[in-house]
Amino acid sequence: MTNLIPSTADAEANAANMAAIDAIEVGEYACIRGWAKLLGFSADWCDLHSGRAAQDKAPVNAIQNIDGLWLTLESIRNPETRARVVALSEKGAK
């Protein structure tokens, strides 16, 4: 049977990743930070995508680039998920 309760090590690793994501300067692309936190992406992923967004002059509400197309906050159909991404976009949000 799978243990669904995260271990202390998992929680510590997640907190460290969140802190690393917060340390990245995302410029106007804060939604990328929120998306990375929500999905558990790495700080490197967040850094890469925020830099690419700036280079591509992506919409400021961009969350991820898939095959050359920038998905935006409005691409998220569930309003609760959209609100969570916005909340997580703030530095220090968990």
Residue 7 lies in a domain: no
At residue 66, what are phi and psi to the nearest 5 degrees? -125, 115
- Residue ranges making up the domain that contains 62: 26-88
Look at residue 9 and tell me whether its pLDDT is greater than 80.
Answer: no
Residue 8 lies in a domain: no
Residue 80 lies in a domain: yes
Domain count, the chain: 1
Residue 18 lies in a domain: no
List CB contacts of 89: < 8 A, sequence separation 6 or more: 30, 31, 33, 34
Residue 43 lies in a domain: yes
Look at residue 17 and tell me whether its pLDDT is greater than 90.
Answer: no
Please check whether residue 33 is in contact with residue 26, taking contact to mean a CB–CB distance below 8 angstroms: yes
pLDDT, mean over the chain: 87
Cα distance between residue 39 and residue 27, in whole Å: 20
Residue 64 lies in a domain: yes
Q: How confident is the model at residue 23 (pLDDT cuts 50, 70, 90)?
A: confident
Compare 2 and 92 and report the one with higher pLDDT.
Answer: 92
Write the pLDDT tens digit of every residue in 45-78: 999 999 999 999 999 999 999 999 999 999 999 9
Residue 10 lies in a domain: no
Q: How would you class 39 by CB atoms within 10 Å of its CB: exposed for 0-12, middle for 13-18, buried for 19 or more? A: exposed
What percentage of the chain's residues is helix, strand, coil (to nearest 5)?
55, 10, 35
Residue 20 lies in a domain: no
